[in-house]
Structure 1
Amino acid sequence: MDKLLLDSWESVLRTLVIGVLAYVVLIIQLRLSGKRTLSKMNSFDFIVTVALGSTLATVLLSKDVSLMDGAMAFAVLIFLQYAITWASVRSKKLSNLVKATPVLLLYQGKFLREAMRAQRVTQEEILAAMRSQGIGSVEEVGAVILETEGSISVIKELESTESSVLQNVKRPLR
């Protein structure tokens, strides 16, 4: 029962020192790798973020993992994320493999039920996104898109030109 609240002061001191040092190492590596490393662009980026957090927790709490092991794990994860994003910018095939495609959920005031069902998005979620944009009527909306990272974008007016913001958005077959 003694170890329920405190294992040892040495353990507390180790967690404090390793925590500060691991945090500093992680921040330095993230700054060196650039802003894109922790962006919320797609599920791949989310996985890397979770893996970094899990690695930090392991370094902090496991006496079997040294600070150097943790720093190397951070470096490997950040390097792989950097390499994948670097390559995906240059390869459409790789980009399509690691990134989802934005999906049209509502078009010109009409809900696209099949797309909503396929993406597991409810009408209530779409209406909430519209309300947050100050929209009072579904008919006011040109398009609602489920973005690659899971957020919902609402567009009031659509232009029917080649430079439309819907050019890379997946549309229903009908």
Structure 2
Amino acid sequence: MFNSWDALQHTLIVGSLGYVAIIFLMRISGKRTLSKWNSFDFIVTIAFGSILATLMLSKDTSLAQGILAIGMLVFFQFIITWISVRSNIFQGWIKAEPTLLLYQGELQHNALRNQRVAKGEVLAALRTNGLAELEQAEAVILETDGSFSVIKKLKDSSASALVDVKGYPKETPRT
């Protein structure tokens, strides 16, 4: 149950320094590292936690190794996001595309099924955005980070922010 005061001291000192190192590296790596998650960000964040836990609880892992590992993840994330901003093909490999779940008041049942989204989740997104009827929504989109965007009924609009949404018609008929 109790190993030694030495083990507790190791956890306290190395854990504190590792925590400070993570905060420092996150801060200098930019806002993108701390943005809403896509699957890539989720994996990196879990890896940060795993490294910190190993650093805090294992005497076999030095503080320098832990900081190097965290620094490598920050560097890899920087490189991957740098490339993805410059290459649509690369971005497509690491990031999902937004998907249209509701269009002009009608649920897109194939998209709901493919994305494993229940009708109730779409209804909740509408209510959260102050809409009481399906028909009040132009679109509900499942974003790349898993959140829902609700676009209220459009009148004479190009809907230019929706051009990258899977399932959104390129020529939008206005009603």
Tell me what 2:136 maps to: 140
Can you list the C-alpha shifts for 1:16-75, whole angstroms capped at 9, x where unaligned?
111110011111111111111121242111111111111111111111111000000001
- The TM-score normalised by the length of structure 2 is 0.91
What are the equivalent positions in structure 2 for 1:91-106 lying under 5 Å apart?
91-106=87-102
Q: 1:144–1:154: 8 Å Cα contact kept in structure 2?
A: yes
What are the equivalent positions in structure 2 for 1:22-101 lying under 5 Å apart?
22-101=18-97
Which of 155, 166, 170 is the matching residue for 2:166?
A: 170
- The TM-score normalised by the length of structure 1 is 0.92
Q: 1:87–1:94: 8 Å Cα contact kept in structure 2?
A: yes
Q: Structure 1 residues 48, 126: closer, same or farther in 2, change over 3 A?
A: same
Once structures 1 and 2 are overlaid, which stretch shifts more, 115-124 or 59-68? Answer: 59-68
Q: 2:162–2:168: 8 Å Cα contact kept in structure 1?
A: no
SS of the aligned residue for 1:145 comes to strand
In the alignment, is residue 122 of structure 1 matched against residue 118 of structure 2? yes
Q: Structure 1 residues 36, 172: closer, same or farther in 2, change over 3 A?
A: closer
SS of the aligned residue for 2:162 comes to coil
SS of the aligned residue for 1:142 comes to strand
For 1:95 and 1:42, how far apart are their aligned partners in 2? 12
> Number of residue pairs matched?
169
Displacement of 1:98 in angstroms is: 0.8
- Where does the alignment leave 5 or more consecutive residues of structure 2 unmatched? 170-175
Displacement of 1:91 in angstroms is: 0.8
Q: 1:145–1:152: 8 Å Cα contact kept in structure 2?
A: yes
Can you list the C-alpha shifts for 1:91-114, whole angstroms capped at 9, x where unaligned?
111011111000000000000000
Q: Structure 1 residues 23, 159: closer, same or farther in 2, change over 3 A?
A: farther
SS of the aligned residue for 1:144 comes to strand
SS of the aligned residue for 2:101 comes to strand
Tell me what 1:155 maps to: 151
Tell me which stretches of 4 or more aligned residues in structure 1 moved more than 6 Å. none
Identity among equivalent pairs (%)? 52
- Supply the RMSD in Å over aligned alpha carbons: 1.5
Letter of the 2:50 counterpart: S
Q: 1:145–1:153: 8 Å Cα contact kept in structure 2?
A: yes
SS of the aligned residue for 1:16 comes to helix
Displacement of 1:157 in angstroms is: 2.2
